[in-house]
Homo-oligomer: A and B are copies of this chain.
Amino acid sequence: MMRALGTLHTIGMGPGDPELLTLKALRLIGQAPVVAYFAKRGRVGHARSIAGARLHPDAIELRFEYPFTTELSIEDPRYPVDMGVFYEACAGRIAAHLDGGQDVALLCEGDPFFYGSSMYLYDRLHADYPHETVPGVTGMSGCWTAAGLPIAHGDDMLCVLPGTLDEDRLVDRLLGCDAAVIMKVGRNLAKIQRALRRAGMAERAVYVERGTQDGQCILPMTGMDGRAAPYFSMVLVQGRQRLR
């Protein structure tokens, strides 16, 4: 006897404002019998909180709690091992529902294929199950819009840089681009400030925290001295605006 497999819907939930959900995301999360999402320990989970009351009332929720409460450096040898075990277990829980013929909606903040944790589950599942991915508004689009900063024009080159890079490499990359987005600010803030000054970009850099969400905070980078930044904040450098 054969049973039809369920479909994995990996769904971009946008940057935070629930009104920035797409129509497709809204339709799929409203009819999904099983909904999965990542969350930090003790938190609702960002993607889940964007969905709010829009899930089907009978939906089964699979909550995947990250094994680390604070940032464990990506360079730490334990990181990839522990995370691999965690992602494997999450994929297994989803697969059990897909095997039983139930569709699963995997919620992902921003756009799933752009630095999303859900990619590690997609990587493990997509060869074996029907699947569809729904792109979303990225966190960076939410941030540059909230800051009123048209980020890239004409033939500007835009770089998306992790704040985890060492200072010299950050400077080198900043010098090679017109517009920049620096993610994963957190404890890298002071280093990022030094790199921006060395690249001559400090004056036009803007810091954005919780873009499009409650508690949104937008500051010129020059006004950030002494301030602490959460991990999920970003720094934006607008392109050259050569055309008018």
Contacts and interface: CB of A to CB of B under 8 A. Distances in A.
Contact of A142 (B14, B135, B152): B135
A244 B80 contact: yes
A119 interface: yes
Given A19-B24, A74-B155, A80-B244, A150 B137 contact: no
A187 to B, nearest CB: 14
A158 B159 CA distance: 6
Interface residues of A, number: 66
Contact of A113 (B119, B122, B150, B176): B150
A159 B173 CA distance: 10
B138 A134 contact: no
Contact of A134 (B23, B114, B145): B145
Nearest to A164: B155
A23 B15 contact: no
Given A22-B20, A22-B22, A135 B145 contact: yes
B23 A145 contact: no
A165 interface: yes
Interface string A25-62: 01100000000000000000000000000000000000
B153 A115 contact: yes
A74 B145 contact: no
Given A23-B26, A113-B149, A155-B165, 10 more contacts: A18-B23, A19-B22, A74-B154, A111-B141, A115-B154, A116-B150, A119-B153, A135-B137, A135-B141, A157-B162
20 contacts: A23-B26, A74-B154, A84-B243, A84-B244, A111-B137, A111-B145, A113-B141, A113-B144, A113-B145, A115-B153, A126-B148, A134-B145, A135-B141, A152-B160, A154-B162, A155-B162, A157-B160, A157-B165, A173-B176, A176-B176
